[in-house]
Amino acid sequence: MTIHSAIMLAAGIGIPILAALNAALGRTIGSPAVAASVLFVVAFLTALIVALATNPQAIGKVAAAPKHLFLGGVLIAFYVLTITWIAPIIGVGNAVFFVLIGQMIAAAAIDHFGLFGANVTPLSATRASGIAVMAIGVFLTQKV
């Protein structure tokens, strides 16, 4: 396993932990939206500290970036708001199950068509079968 794989594995481990923590915060304070807002403030400060420590000159290039690239912020807000709201209702495992299925479908489409500058990786029958097996595996982990 490469360092990049290990980092992404850690990020994957963090997703359900994030969902559980933020859902609990939302229940505790009585507002999933406020809990998500707190998460974003903490995330912003963390990312800003890392940015300033690693590449502060890049901040000056933000204004010149294509504006459609900022839609990623809308998508992460949508994810955090929905996982914070829905995880307490259907459970963290079930919520993350649907997130994973959505991620596999979107990732396959992005790779197949080379969207957003991604390397083109055609969706072959073998790859589609692998995604289906992964989806079935994720589904089976949620069966009680």
What would you report as the CA-atom Rg of the chain, rounded to the nearest whole angstrom? 18
Condensed to tens digits (0 to 9), the pLDDT of residues 10-20 reads 998 999 999 99
- For 17-33, what is the mean pLDDT? 94
**Among 8-12, 80-84, 109-113, 140-144, the least confident range:** 140-144
Gap between the Cα atoms of 139 and 29, Å rounded = 32
Average pLDDT of the chain, as a whole number? 92
Residue 1: pLDDT over 80: no
For the chain, the structural domain boundaries read 3-142
Q: What angle, rounded to 10 degrees, do the helices at 32-54 and 3-29 form?
A: 140
Q: Cα separation of 135 and 92, whole Å?
A: 17
Nearest-angstrom CA–CA distance, 108 and 18: 24
